[in-house]
Chain A
């Protein structure tokens, strides 16, 4: 039986040592992570079936209760002569495959220090939660770490634009197979076996495009080992400084209590007060978007955006 835990990384690779070959009865631990709908489970099923067909005991454990609702999805695949726990203990992951950039970073602490391999798609899926702070100048909340930082902290890391590679092939959904190709270089299974297993899991019509995606992922890593990969993730939307202070002038004499402004305000910061006149009840929430000014049929609201200099004067 072949040893499950080997890497094909050539000795010429700079910086870090090769993945340590463990004792034969140690399980090989692969953690596959991403966002619901990306195909995390498919990747882990291919690996699990392949490892099983090579005579290993395999356990594949996933949590998918929220998978369809854009939540974080992860799947543990462990194989070896004997596998006990279905989940991989923190710090014991040999290979971390991430289908989304921030999800990859989330699970990095699970990677084996020093020898773990990190293969991550640079695709960013920004959740609505990242855009909750609407104050002028507020930044989007998304992981700020750059690939350079990641490579500096992780033994062997690959930031691969798998989604772009799949799009070039005309099928964005094949990004997960690109990553399977990348993963295949870190494990000692033949590419014929890999490709046969991939073909079992994808729709018949898409077998050629998926096999090509697999080969491109595999080739990309092999190229990356001999040259410095020049892939960069786009930086998150930068914070812009707030250029103004917001001040609302409401003319009570012109307000006729129609409450259009109250109902249409995106921040829900306007109310009708005891006299049924529009009032800014939550000034700290107001973003100065001017919707109330534009929608007021009686021109009773004026939104002033005062430049900081003007305030100082």
Chain B
């Protein structure tokens, strides 16, 4: 393997240019430097900025696109690889579930142009529905997983990943986590080096996975794993930082800086690739130290492998399997293990923390939809987006949320199982395009009696306002064809379709009642743009005529962050006030006010 090792050594010569980059920006930069030609993704925290950064590079260098979902994105990237160009696909951890079908076949096919999948995990569930560990996909698919520990490595490893992909004929995963993706640190950058296109590999036995061709490819995959193990044993990606042999720490990715923070001089084996693991190197390392610790976030992937090699290893007994690790938790683990002296107890003063959950924005067009579904007494299957926050008080308008697009299928199941309440599915525009359309076709085909509320705010809001096929703009903000939802749902056989203005509360209530009364699949499209993206909406604000307010709290049920209690009261209840800097003038509170005390702040007439 020695010649190939030389071939993939990270380029040492760089222009003297150091920039503060986040992990995501560094991944995009690394891919660009590696000569990536096609990049595709569906936005998802914490991975979104990878493609947004990609779009800042010239369009002649790289075609960067928002795809309708992660499987589509991966298929696009795979196509570019077939065509002999380097391709990048980025997604959050749960996005890989969506793309898994294509991914599991592509591991048999391998690559032509280098194919790199950047997967960003979210340990600690900062903005996700679970905290699955993507490294297990590496094991499942026998695909190498590179794990950078800071932004510099994110760039270097991404560059290298393209070389490895072509050298070993395999897709390669670069795994990040929220902490790495959103940490800015200095990165030495390099120039773009675009390899010439490779000719198409005209070989159906490699590219077409029928059973007869797939069976031998599985054998090729197993052989590839052995080659990768041999490579990683010698590779400088895995770094043995020698120290005292009383104990050794094996770690990877974002856990490495935590280990160094609390044990600056320890004997550490830092793995740059967490799959496949280099057996020989691990064996040598484990034999060289008396006690072996593994510090890894989430699942005991490395720990289990070392156990399988026959060594006694300590890991998850000291470092939690749930949530995000931190220097504090790593220190606590080593204190418990008797490696570190406990720190002297500091006398800390802990004021009772204020509960501040994220809320729907002032003027959010989703608000009225959930006021209406709650008032309708329906069973509500929710979906993924900002509007999932409507499950909290005071809106409390959602009963279930599973995964992207699940709402409609869940609603069909509930209705078919004999739910006695009316069944409503609520789904955002981007989520509908991502995974809702097959669900809607299924509902029509199976003649379910459900109502689908399509909450069209004209943007992918949750991830910070990304374009999608319903916005009429591309990732690079260029004009694009626009999906016509009304025509689309009619085309799949929905007979009851109505569009309603989200800011007309009475119309939303009445339309939802009509939709529920219709027997069959009814689609109600709530139509108002997001107040933040693509443009910040700010109309004339409203104010409360305090003398008239009877403190009934009807407006407080909107959950609007601009409405809070004032210091005046009526019959023991707090009167309300409106923060005019937050109010965008959506009028919902004025519509629910029974005593008509919420008025527009009149513009001064000249």
Q: A residues within 8 Å of B by Cβ?
A: 35-36, 45, 48-49, 52, 57-66, 68-72, 83-87, 89-91, 102-103, 105-106, 108-109, 113, 126-132, 134, 136-137, 140-145, 153-154, 172, 237, 240-244, 263-264, 266-267, 287-291, 294-295, 305
Say whether B571 faces chain A, with CB atoms less than 8 Å apart.
yes
Number of residue pairs across A and B with beta carbons under 8 Å? 205
> Would you give the shortest CB distance from B151 to chain A, in whole angstroms?
9
Contact: A128 with B186, CB < 8 Å? no
Q: Which residues of B from 266 to 313 have beta carbons under 8 Å from A?
A: none
- Bound-complex Cα distance A85 to B331 (A): 12
A65-B126, A128-B560 known; A240 and B356 CB under 8 Å?
no
Contact: B594 with A128, CB < 8 Å? no
Q: Which residues of B from 549 to 567 have beta carbons under 8 Å from A?
A: 550-554, 556-557, 559-561, 563-567
Of B186, B346, B551, B569, the contact of A52 (CB 8 Å cutoff): B186
Q: Which residue of B lies closest to A66 (CB)?
A: B358
Contact: A266 with B257, CB < 8 Å? no
A237-B574, A243-B572, A295-B594 known; A128 and B347 CB under 8 Å?
no
Residues of chain A lying within 8 A (CB to CB) of residue B464: 68
Contact: A106 with B353, CB < 8 Å? yes
- Bound-complex Cα distance A58 to B559 (A): 39
Of A63, A108, A305, the contact of B351 (CB 8 Å cutoff): A108
Of A71, A131, A264, the contact of B574 (CB 8 Å cutoff): A131
Q: Which residues of B from 170 to 201 have beta carbons under 8 Å from A?
A: 178-180, 182-186
- Bound-complex Cα distance A102 to B564 (A): 16
Contact: B354 with A136, CB < 8 Å? no
Contact: A60 with B571, CB < 8 Å? no
Contact: B186 with A69, CB < 8 Å? no
Residues of chain A lying within 8 A (CB to CB) of residue B539: none
Pick out which of these stretches binds chain A: B7-15, B60-68, B386-394.
B386-394
Of A65, A102, A172, the contact of B127 (CB 8 Å cutoff): A65
Contact: A153 with B361, CB < 8 Å? no
Of A89, A134, A244, A295, the contact of B553 (CB 8 Å cutoff): A134
14 chain-A/chain-B pairs, Cβ below 8 angstroms: A60-B20, A61-B182, A63-B126, A63-B178, A68-B532, A87-B327, A89-B261, A108-B351, A126-B564, A127-B355, A136-B571, A136-B573, A145-B351, A240-B569
- Bound-complex Cα distance A130 to B182 (A): 30
Contact: A61 with B183, CB < 8 Å? yes
Contact: A69 with B394, CB < 8 Å? no
Residues of chain B lying within 8 A (CB to CB) of residue A266: 552-554, 556-557
Residues of chain B lying within 8 A (CB to CB) of residue A129: 355-357, 359, 393
Of A69, A264, A287, the contact of B361 (CB 8 Å cutoff): A69
Q: Which residue of B lies closest to A83 (CB)?
A: B185
Contact: B185 with A69, CB < 8 Å? no
Contact: B594 with A264, CB < 8 Å? yes
Say whether B3 faces chain A, with CB atoms less than 8 Å apart.
no
Contact: A69 with B358, CB < 8 Å? yes
The digit string for B94-131, where 1 denotes a CB below 8 A from any CB of A, is 00000000000000000000000000000000110000
A61-B183, A172-B581 known; A131 and B564 CB under 8 Å?
yes
Contact: B182 with A63, CB < 8 Å? yes
Say whether B232 faces chain A, with CB atoms less than 8 Å apart.
no
Residues of chain A lying within 8 A (CB to CB) of residue B178: 63, 65
Say whether B373 faces chain A, with CB atoms less than 8 Å apart.
no
Say whether B258 faces chain A, with CB atoms less than 8 Å apart.
yes
> Would you give the shortest CB distance from A245 to chain B, in whole angstroms?
11
Contact: B561 with A70, CB < 8 Å? yes
A35-B356, A85-B261 known; A289 and B551 CB under 8 Å?
yes
A264-B594, A289-B552 known; A140 and B565 CB under 8 Å?
yes
Residues of chain A lying within 8 A (CB to CB) of residue B532: 68
Q: Which residues of B from 411 to 457 have beta carbons under 8 Å from A?
A: none
Of B182, B354, B560, the contact of A142 (CB 8 Å cutoff): B354
Say whether B348 faces chain A, with CB atoms less than 8 Å apart.
yes
Residues of chain A lying within 8 A (CB to CB) of residue B331: 89
Of A35, A83, A143, A289, the contact of B550 (CB 8 Å cutoff): A289
Main secondary structure of the interface of B (DSSP, over half): loop
- Bound-complex Cα distance A64 to B183 (A): 11
Say whether B328 faces chain A, with CB atoms less than 8 Å apart.
yes
- Bound-complex Cα distance A142 to B567 (A): 13
Q: A85-B326, A86-B150, A244-B571 known; 11 other A-B pairs, CB under 8 Å?
A: A58-B186, A60-B184, A60-B185, A66-B126, A85-B257, A86-B257, A106-B351, A128-B394, A266-B552, A288-B573, A294-B594
Of A109, A142, A290, the contact of B350 (CB 8 Å cutoff): A109
Say whether B352 faces chain A, with CB atoms less than 8 Å apart.
yes
Say whether B375 faces chain A, with CB atoms less than 8 Å apart.
yes
A128-B559, A140-B565 known; A69 and B360 CB under 8 Å?
yes
- Bound-complex Cα distance A153 to B350 (A): 10
Residues of chain B lying within 8 A (CB to CB) of residue A153: 349
Say whether B242 faces chain A, with CB atoms less than 8 Å apart.
no
Q: Which residue of B lies closest to A111 (CB)?
A: B348
Q: Which residue of B lies closest to A56 (CB)?
A: B186
Contact: A62 with B573, CB < 8 Å? no
A106-B353, A113-B348 known; A86 and B557 CB under 8 Å?
no
Residues of chain B lying within 8 A (CB to CB) of residue A66: 126-127, 358
Say whether B46 faces chain A, with CB atoms less than 8 Å apart.
yes
Residues of chain B lying within 8 A (CB to CB) of residue A131: 556, 564-565, 574
The digit string for B143-185, where 1 denotes a CB below 8 A from any CB of A, is 0000000100000000000000000000000000011101111
Q: Which residue of A lies closest to B577 (CB)?
A: A126
Contact: A57 with B261, CB < 8 Å? no
Contact: A130 with B564, CB < 8 Å? yes
Report the 6 A-B pairs with minimum CB-CB distance, sorted nearest first. Answer: A65-B127, A136-B572, A71-B358, A69-B358, A289-B552, A66-B358
> Would you give the shortest CB distance from A81 to chain B, in whole angstroms?
12
Of B353, B386, B569, B581, the contact of A69 (CB 8 Å cutoff): B386
Q: Which residue of B lies closest to A263 (CB)?
A: B375
Q: Which residue of A lies closest to B557 (CB)?
A: A266
Q: Which residue of B lies closest to A238 (CB)?
A: B567
Of B46, B183, B356, B553, the contact of A72 (CB 8 Å cutoff): B356
Residues of chain B lying within 8 A (CB to CB) of residue A89: 261, 326-328, 331
Of A72, A127, A294, the contact of B561 (CB 8 Å cutoff): A127
Most B Cβ at <10 Å: residue of A140, A143, A237: A237
Contact: A132 with B184, CB < 8 Å? no
Q: Which residue of B lies closest to A154 (CB)?
A: B349
Residues of chain A lying within 8 A (CB to CB) of residue B573: 134, 136, 287-289
Say whether B406 faces chain A, with CB atoms less than 8 Å apart.
no
Residues of chain A lying within 8 A (CB to CB) of residue B182: 61-64
> Would you give the shortest CB distance from B341 to chain A, in whole angstroms?
15
Contact: A60 with B183, CB < 8 Å? yes
> Would you give the shortest CB distance from A45 to chain B, in whole angstroms?
8
Residues of chain A lying within 8 A (CB to CB) of residue B566: 237
